[in-house]
Amino acid sequence: MRKAYTCVCLAMILLPATASAGAVESLLQQYQRQGAGDFNPIRGKKLWEARHMQSKLGKPVSCASCHTTDLTRPGQHLRTGKHIEPMSPAVNPSRLMDAKKVEKWFRRNCRWTWGRVCTPQEKGDLLMFIRQSNPGGKKK
C-alpha cells in the first residue's frame, strides 16, 4: 500500500514536468520547421526585457513590465491590473503544459507588447528563457 502511494505521489510531481517538456519540445521543433535556428535562453532574456512603444499606453513596455524580471514571482497586467501567475514552470507547474495555450498567449502578448507577431526564432528563444527560469535564477 505504501509503495503504491509513493508511486502515485511521485507521478503527480513528475507528470507536470514531463507534460511541460513535451509541449515545449513540440513547439521548438515546430519553430525550427518554420525556419528558426538554434534557440538560446540568453537571447530570450534580452527579448523579455526589450522595451517597445505600446500604442494604447503611450509608453515603452516589455514582457517584464507585466510578468516581472523574476519569473518565479507573480505579475500584474499594466492596463487591466489583472493578476498574472508566475511564468516559471519551476514554481507554476501548469505553465508551458499546453502548446495551444502557449501559442495563444504568444499571439496575444507579442501583438500587445511589441505591436507585431513574434517570429518562430523569438518564440523559441523566449520559451528557452522561461523554461530555464527557477528560484535563484540558476539554470536547471
What is the model's pLDDT at position 139? 43
pTM for the complete prediction? Answer: 0.80
Four-point Cα dihedral 15, 108, 114, 62, nearest 10: -50
pLDDT digits 0-9 by tens, 58-74: 999 999 999 999 999 99
* Structural domains of the chain ordered from first start: 2-137 (1.10.760.10)
Residue 12: is its pLDDT beyond 60? no
Q: Cβ(125)–Cβ(39) under 8 Å?
A: yes
**Would you place residue 3 in the very low, low, confident or very high pLDDT band (cuts 50, 70, 90)?**
low
In angstroms, the first-to-last Cα distance of the chain is 33
Residue 76: all three cell numbers together: 500584474
Residue 9: all three cell numbers together: 505521489
Residue 136: is its pLDDT beyond 70? no
Query: Average pLDDT of the chain?
Result: 85
Q: Is 81 helix (H, G, I), strand (E, B) or coil?
A: coil
Question: Cα-flanking dihedrals φ and ψ of residue 44, to 5°?
Answer: -60, -40
What is the model's pLDDT at position 55? 86
**Would you place residue 16 in the very low, low, confident or very high pLDDT band (cuts 50, 70, 90)?**
very low
pLDDT digits 0-9 by tens, 89-119: 999 999 999 999 999 999 999 999 999 999 9
Residue type, 115: G
**Would you place residue 6 in the very low, low, confident or very high pLDDT band (cuts 50, 70, 90)?**
very low
Write the burial class of residue 44 (CB in 10 Å: 0-12 exposed, 13-18 middle, 19+ buried). Answer: buried
More confident position, 9 or 132: 132
pLDDT digits 0-9 by tens, 115-133: 999 999 999 999 999 999 8
Residue 138: all three cell numbers together: 540558476
